[in-house]
Structure 1
Amino acid sequence: MTGDVVRQWRAAAADDGAVLLDGFHALKHALRFGARVRIAATASRTDALVLARELAPDLAARLDALLVELPDRQLRELVPRRHPTGVAALADRADAAAVRAARRAPRTAPVVVLDNPRNLGNVGAVVRLAAGMAATGVVTTGDTDPWHPGAVRGAAGLHYATAVARLPLDGLPAAVPGPLYALDPDGEDLRTLRLPDDALLAFGSERHGISPALRARADRLVSLPMRPLVSSYNLATSVAMALYHWSRDAGRAGPGPR
């Protein structure tokens, strides 16, 4: 039985269409938001089902049927690092569905664009924010895969609660239409603007900001309020400030100055 589970896991993990759900909370959120989970393993079914009854009673029966137990040593061999909850799973990626969702019109919430992000933890934190704030989704440019296990771990599996995809910068306007608001220190103060529901809110890296290519495509440059001599905010903090500002006016008509 154990050998069959290990072989099934390794076969699924070798598929580029599979994504690692690292930990109980990642599996919980993936199931709640419709992920197709291929296999789920735990070092202790008893402990995992206790967590399910305490933290996700709506999923307890599904998890009872889904989870298979593996010796802790073998679970550690299958994952990059064992999550403290002793739970891991493999599920289908949802990139294509994400792009379709981001293209859907009329959009009722912004799409967050991360311009060539480098830190997987930051990408995951932004996805978690987007899911919590009911943004349409998160689109990244550059080489970093937003479905990398490190990003999925940082988002606690909430990639399935919003649209998450990677797109080339030059394909962005066609794939995800809408006015592009780029965060830049030289932009207009966010507090003087109303962000439209169909906006693309673009954020650069903490060190370099948005790229010249994205800056040239922007319909509007927007700045966050910041004390003099402070160089930058954390990426996730910047996204949170912008989405919160948008949420205060969600459902009200028209972009532009108040």
Structure 2
Amino acid sequence: MSDDDATSVVRQWRETAPDTVFLDGFHALKHALRFGADVRCAITSDKEAALALAADLANDVTARIEELVVEVPADTLRELVPKVHPTRVAALVFRRNRQANLEGLAALPRSSPIVVLDNPRNLGNVGAVVRLAAGFGVTGVVTTGDMDPWHSNVVRSAAGLHFATAVERLQPADLPPGPLYVLDPEGADIRSVAIPDDALLVFGSERHGVSPELREQATKLLALPMRPQVSSYNLATSVAMTLFHWGGGPPQAPNAQDRTAAAPGAP
């Protein structure tokens, strides 16, 4: 890339564009590209290293990374990005189309559930749930309340996987159709209940649980097995346990293009 290319992309980065989100690091960009994200601009201070990572871990997107990512000086990257990721890669991408997301969430029949997070408060937890939802191949993640599920900290925690599933914020009255299976300590043991593919799996906030409004509408209350005197599970853990019990998801096949997939703590 020429100096003119770097100057142009830096100018574009600094210009305000609506409906863009920040992707932090190579792995977030990798996932976004795999699932069709519209990249506005992408930068790195070491393109050779970024391409080496792609060749080693994600050769399926190497050509796209070579085409899109522009190398800028390290000082410039530090000016543009508040905290530079260890992979020295960052990108601005357009959010998934809201109308398309809503149509996908509302479409019936569904082959996989929708995860509903009722008024969540922790940005990192929401990102972890999006990552789980992408891995299990669920239809989408819907949040209620005032938190934006596309907040930059949520996107960071989800490692770019917002583009692998529909992620939207809705009012409780506007939830997609389907039976509500609400996680609640007073519910039936989840191990005794089969969860249908078209279910809305509702999880309460970390502090207050599910709102009375949604609890009253529940088709079924479900409880996760828990040792007495243990107060609760982490939100993402609860979602993972419930989705594992649902038992659906995409076909299990090793992905030769991504050896980080099963690595504990992979970014």
What TM-score do the two structures reach when normalised by structure 1? 0.91
Moved over 6 A (4+): none
Note the C-alpha offset of 1:164.
0.6
Note the C-alpha offset of 1:5.
1.7
Alignment partners' CA distance in 1, 2:249 and 2:156: 31
Instruction: Report 1:98-109 matches (<5 A).
Output: 98-109=101-112
Note the C-alpha offset of 1:248.
5.8
Alignment partners' CA distance in 2, 1:183 and 1:191: 13
**Per-residue Cα deviation, 1:128-170 (whole angstroms, up to 9, x for no partner):** 1001011111000111111111111111111111111111122
Task: Check whether the contact 1:120–1:150 (CA below 8 A) recurs between aligned residues.
Answer: yes
SS of equivalent to 2:120: coil
* Amino acid in structure 2 at the alignment position of 1:89: A
Note the C-alpha offset of 1:93.
0.5
- Call closer, same or farther: CA 1:81–1:96 in 2, change over 3 Å: farther
SS of equivalent to 1:222: strand
Note the C-alpha offset of 1:4.
2.1
Instruction: Report 1:1-258 matches (<5 A).
Output: 1=4, 2-11=6-15, 14-94=16-96, 95-172=98-175, 176-247=176-247
Alignment partners' CA distance in 1, 2:245 and 2:125: 20
Note the C-alpha offset of 1:181.
0.8
Note the C-alpha offset of 1:61.
1.3
- Call closer, same or farther: CA 1:73–1:249 in 2, change over 3 Å: closer
Note the C-alpha offset of 1:6.
1.5
Partner of 2:259: none
Alignment partners' CA distance in 2, 1:120 and 1:77: 25
Alignment partners' CA distance in 1, 2:100 and 2:21: 15
SS of equivalent to 1:164: strand
Task: Check whether the contact 2:140–2:166 (CA below 8 A) recurs between aligned residues.
Answer: yes
* Amino acid in structure 1 at the alignment position of 2:127: G
Q: CA RMSD in A?
A: 1.5
**Per-residue Cα deviation, 1:32-65 (whole angstroms, up to 9, x for no partner):** 0111111110111111111111111111111111
SS of equivalent to 1:194: coil
SS of equivalent to 1:75: helix
SS of equivalent to 2:42: strand
- The runs of 5 or more residues in structure 2 that have no matched partner are 251-267
Partner of 2:256: none
**Per-residue Cα deviation, 1:221-251 (whole angstroms, up to 9, x for no partner):** 111100000000000000000000001699x
Task: Check whether the contact 1:22–1:149 (CA below 8 A) recurs between aligned residues.
Answer: no
Percent identity between matched residues is: 63
- The runs of 5 or more residues in structure 1 that have no matched partner are 251-258
What TM-score do the two structures reach when normalised by structure 2? 0.88
Note the C-alpha offset of 1:28.
0.4
**For structure 1, which segment, 74-83 or 17-26, has the greater mean C-alpha deviation from structure 2 after superposition?**
74-83
Task: Check whether the contact 1:194–1:249 (CA below 8 A) recurs between aligned residues.
Answer: no
Alignment partners' CA distance in 1, 2:228 and 2:27: 39
Matched length = 245
